[in-house]
Amino acid sequence: MSAPRLLVLLLLGLLIAPAVSAADGRAAPQCAQFDLSDVISSGSGVAVETGACLIIDIGVRNSATTLAIDYEVMDDAMDVLLFDENTIQTYNNGQNYRNSFTTEGSFESMLGDEWFDWAPPQSFTAKNWYVVFDNTAHDGDEGQGDQGGSTARFKIQLAPAATEIYPFTHNTFVVEAGQKANLGTFNVDGGTEFSYWAHPISGSGDLFIQSDNQLGGDLMISGSNMDDFGGQETTQLDWTVPSFLDLKNLNLMVEAGSTDLHFTVKSWFEPVLAPIIVDYSNGATTIGQSITLDAGGSPNSLQQINVLSWDFDSDGIADDEGELVDASWPTPGIKTINLTAQSASGETTTTSHQVTVSDVTNPTAVITGTGGVLDLNGNRRLLRISDLTLQASNSFDDHAIASASWSVDGTTMSSASQYTVSWSEIGTYLITLAVTDPSGNMGYANSTIFVFDSTVPILVTSDISDIEEVTKGEEIEFKAKAVDVWDGEDSLRFTWDLDLEVDSNGDGDTTNDPDYTGRILTKTFDSTGKYRLALTVYDNSNNTDFEIFEFQVVEPAGEGNIFGIIAIVFLVVIIVTGVVLFGYKGVQRRHAVEMLVEKGLSLEEANARIYEVTKTTKLPKFAKAVQMAGISEGGVVKSSEQIMSEEKASEFSSIYGNDSQSQIDPNAGFRPSSQVRQIDPAIANAALAAFEDDPVPKKSAPPTPVSGKVKSGGVALPPVQQSAGHTLKTDCTSCSKAFAVTMPAGVSSAVVACPSCGSDQLFER
């Protein structure tokens, strides 16, 4: 506070009424100006001398705040005038201010106390407001109001008025006599409570509510009127908006009586808090099926709902929030949904809705088990007298499994969740599991049990295996037999696959096609050749045995066939004879080689000699070793060394004459004596079973008879007539060229040089 203002207040005194003085004359007023804080706490009031005025700055105010104002004027009447920052200038300038002050908050010639609630008019910007206490004859008052007199005192109280959470109107109005005024229009939810009170300052009148259709007339909403309020009493009315006026435009009206009506009115709403649930599923759904719940239609015209929370299972715990939600339930039954609306003030209201959740889905029965062999189709193979434990524990439902029931071939056997079965007889048994949920829905599962024995049938195929040949065109029977420890032969099944190259049943196996079924297969073959067929035997447990048979289909017997058979037999005889002959010749040849080696020939010379003998001499079929060696008729056998020695002796004889010493073989003392080996008949017989072929050289054209030079060491061929000799033919062992030589009568062997290559060749007969 400034020092001059403080000094003025001190001069006013504590108990003596303070005074504000003015200069003489009717010039523009010279008003003292104070802040509201300077005077608001004055205990005995502030004195204003006659002819003086006091301006109080009550600050910048806007229409958002309603001010509760108390005036009290004591000792003498004064004018209490309310101006804004613009109109106060008219007063300060001494001008006519009759139309400048705010009528609702101004009182002329006031003495006593008055209170009212006032809200500044709507404005784009907040304004500074002033209250003037006038105890003078102002040039601009047109002689109205207080014109001074004696010193007066005043008190002022000003503060924001208490407000309701949902206000409608709270202000002070002045209505001319006999006039109506619309204090405000509203549309709210049916069930909303509308309350208002009126504080009359002067005059009297009626308050009431009209619909838009009633405006301009005397009709009003029944029960909404406050008639002829006036005096100093404050009257309040509480009225509930009926449902038929839900969200309809309504108007709060006032009508003044015979005098001007100056009053303060306060009205507010107590909004209805009544959440509404809209269920688009009509209160029915199934397990797991989501439904949509809508609370968007809940009364909320005053935005009274702050939070909407949903409890889907009545456990007191919010499951979702908002106007639009989805809900589902995992179990059947009647579900109670609680929707709670909470207002901004913290007030809550809960509404409930019920939904019937049904279980319409059948449970799924699942059979599991321990024992046997499970196939891909859920069926099992079980060995007879073995146990199979079946279980229903893996069955499931969208809710729960209440019970289980087992039946065998349609007969109920057990209601336990686990069931053990066993059979001593083989066969096929149908197991059915039925499961039930708490709602009575049922599900089924089947499993086929093949009870089998483990014994395997064994084919007895001697009757079929003995069939090696089948005559073309003749009907023949193939008789199948089998034995099984458990199954009788009458219960065994036989299938025949007649074409082992074709898979007619498409199982990937070309040997098990059931081209014919039965124990005896009667068939005729139309073509000759080798045939193969397969036989499979099955017992009642589908244990199997299997075998493939081969046989030859031949032409039927006839004359042509007899000659063919004879030819074949003859050919076999020839082959056997040849085998025996060549086996025998092989043994005799080996003995001939041994005999020649014993006589001093090398192994090569012995083989060459035997070869020459066999080529040049006609030997009997079963020639002996001595015949093959060419020594059977006293022929002389000489080695190449002996021949060379005799040639040298001959040369010496021609040079030095025939000396008895030269006739002596220098090697005679070292040569082993010649022994003829006897052939063991057992060896000859063995040759019939194990023989080796006599190697036969490449056959060449018949040789042309030629003459050759006879060397010493053999028997010299005397010059005789060709017709008197014997001609021998051979192939040279060195160059394979054929040539012939004529042996004189009485000469059994000779060594002749090959005319082609000069190689010595031995000729014997």
Task: Tell me, rounded to whole angstroms, the distance of Cα 138 from its chain centroid.
Answer: 97
pLDDT band at 739 (very low <50, low <70, confident <90, very high): confident
* CA-based end-to-end distance of the chain: 179
Whether 740 maps to a domain, the answer reads: yes
Let me know whether 54 and 149 are in one domain.
yes
Residue 553 scores a pLDDT above 80: yes
Higher pLDDT, 561 or 451: 451
Q: If you average pLDDT over residues 675-700, what whole number do you get?
A: 42
What is the pTM for the complete model shown? Answer: 0.54
Q: What is the pLDDT of residue 27?
A: 59
Q: Tell me, what's the pLDDT at 290?
A: 95
Task: State the Cα–Cα distance between residues 313 and 319, nearest whole angstrom.
Answer: 8
Backbone angles phi, psi at 525, to 5 degrees: -110, 130
377 and 256 in a common domain: no
Instruction: Give the dihedral of Cα atoms 513, 518, 524, 528; nearest 10 deg.
Output: 40
In the predicted structure, residue 718 carries a pLDDT above the cut 50 = no
Over residues 581-599, the pLDDT tens digits come to 666 777 778 878 887 887 7
**51: which 2 tokens?**
């002819």
- Mean pLDDT within 691-712: 41
In the structure, what pLDDT confidence band is assigned to residue 601 with cuts at 50, 70 and 90? Answer: confident
CB 524 within 8 A of CB 473: yes
* 74 pLDDT more than 80: yes
Same domain, 8 and 156: yes
**What is the pLDDT averaged over residues 701-722?**
41
Give a three-class secondary structure readout of 602-621: CHHHHHHHHHHHHHHCCCCC
- 690 and 701, same structural domain? no
Show the tokens assigned to 422.
């066993």
- Per-residue pLDDT tens digits for 410-419: 999 999 999 9
How does residue 688 score in pLDDT terms, banded at 50, 70 and 90? Answer: very low
> Are the C-beta atoms of 366 and 392 separated by less than 8 Å?
yes
**384, 486 in Cβ contact below 8 A?**
no
Do 237 and 176 share a structural domain? yes
Cβ contact 265:218 at 8 Å: no
What CATH number is given to the structural domain containing 214? 2.60.120.380
Mean pLDDT of the chain: 82
132 and 92 Cβ atoms separated by less than 8 Å: no
Closest C-alpha to 498, from 510, 482, 481, 480:
510
The number of distinct structural domains making up the chain is 7
DSSP 721-755: -GGGSEEEEEE-TTT--EEEEEEPTT--EEEEE-T
Rounded Cα distance, 336 and 331, in Å: 13
- Greater pLDDT, 9 or 742: 742
Q: Are 295 and 307 in contact (CB under 8 A)?
A: no
Residues 148 and 179 in one domain: no
pLDDT of residue 717: 41
Q: What is the pLDDT of residue 703?
A: 44
Name the more confident of 673 and 742: 742
Residue 708 corresponds to which tokens in the numbers above?
Answer: 């050759």
Going from the C-alpha of 76 to that of each of 71, 110, 199, 549, the distances in angstroms are 14, 8, 25, 149
pLDDT score for 119: 95
CA distances from 349 to 271, 272, 342, 546, 689 (A): 12, 10, 7, 87, 123
Cβ within 8 Å of residue 529, ≥6 positions away: 552, 553
Tell me, yes or no, whether 338 and 379 share the same domain.
no
741 found inside a domain: yes
pLDDT over 90 (residue 707): no
Range of lowest pLDDT (227-231, 424-428, 439-443, 629-633):
629-633
Q: Are 494 and 471 in contact (CB under 8 A)?
A: no
C-beta separation of 238 from 195 below 8 A: yes
pLDDT reported for residue 633: 56
In a domain, 463, yes or no: yes
* pLDDT score of 674 more than 70: no
| 310 and 294 Cβ atoms separated by less than 8 Å | no
pLDDT surpasses 90 at 324: yes
Q: 698 near 736, Cβ under 8 Å?
A: yes
Q: Specify the pLDDT at position 432.
A: 95
CA angle 354, 356, 359 (to 5 degrees): 155
CB of 359 closer than 8 Å to CB of 399: yes
Give 43's pLDDT tier (boundaries 50, 70, 90).
Answer: confident
Domain match, 714 and 759 both: yes
Dist. CA 207–CA 184, nearest whole Å: 12
The mean per-residue pLDDT over the stretch 68-81 comes to: 95
Mark whether 198 and 316 lie in a shared domain. Answer: no
Residue 626 lies in a domain: yes
Residues 41, 171 within the same domain: no
Give the whole-angstrom CA distance, residue 154 versus residue 56. 12
Do residues 108 and 146 touch, judged by C-beta distance below 8 A?
Answer: yes
In a domain, 133, yes or no: yes
Residue 510 lies in a domain: yes
Long-range contacts of 28-31 (CB under 8 A, 24+ apart): 28/92, 28/93, 28/94, 28/139, 29/53, 29/91, 29/92, 29/94, 29/134, 29/136, 29/138, 31/55, 31/92, 31/132
The β-bridge partners of 153 are 47, 74
Last residue of a domain, one of 396, 430, 452: 452
DSSP β-bridge partners for residue 202: 262
78 and 54 in a single domain? The answer is yes
Do the beta carbons of residue 534 and residue 517 sit within 8 Å? no
Domain of residue 341, CATH code: 2.60.40.10
Write down the pLDDT at residue 593. 83
Of 337, 358, 379, which one is at a domain's C-terminal end?
Answer: 358
Q: What is the pLDDT of residue 661?
A: 44
Separation of alpha carbons 37 and 44, rounded Å: 15
Residue 358 pLDDT greater than 90, yes or no: yes
Average pLDDT over residues 466-478: 89
654 in any annotated domain: no
Among 142, 160, 178, the domain boundary falls at 160
Q: Which residue has the higher pLDDT, 243 or 21?
A: 243
| Cα–Cα distance for residue pair 733/762, rounded to 1 Å | 10
User: DSSP class of residue 142?
Assistant: T
Judged by DSSP in three states, 586 sits in helix
Which of 18, 43, 1, 72 lies closest to 9, judged by CA?
A: 18
pLDDT at 561 over 80: no
Give 487's Cβ-side CA count (13 Å radius): 25
The two structure tokens encoding residue 340: 């709670």
Q: What is the pLDDT of residue 658?
A: 55
Q: Please say if the pLDDT value at position 669 is more than 50.
A: no
Determine the structural domain holding residue 90 and report its residue range: 3-160
- 496's tokens: 């025949």
Percent of the chain with pLDDT over 90: 51
User: Which is more confidently placed, 721 or 400?
Assistant: 400
Whether residue 430 is found in the same domain as residue 480 = no
Q: Which pLDDT score, from 0 to 100, does residue 118 have?
A: 96
601 compared with 111, residue with greater pLDDT: 111
Residue 653 lies in a domain: no
Q: d(Cα 245, Cα 214) in Å, to the nearest integer?
A: 13
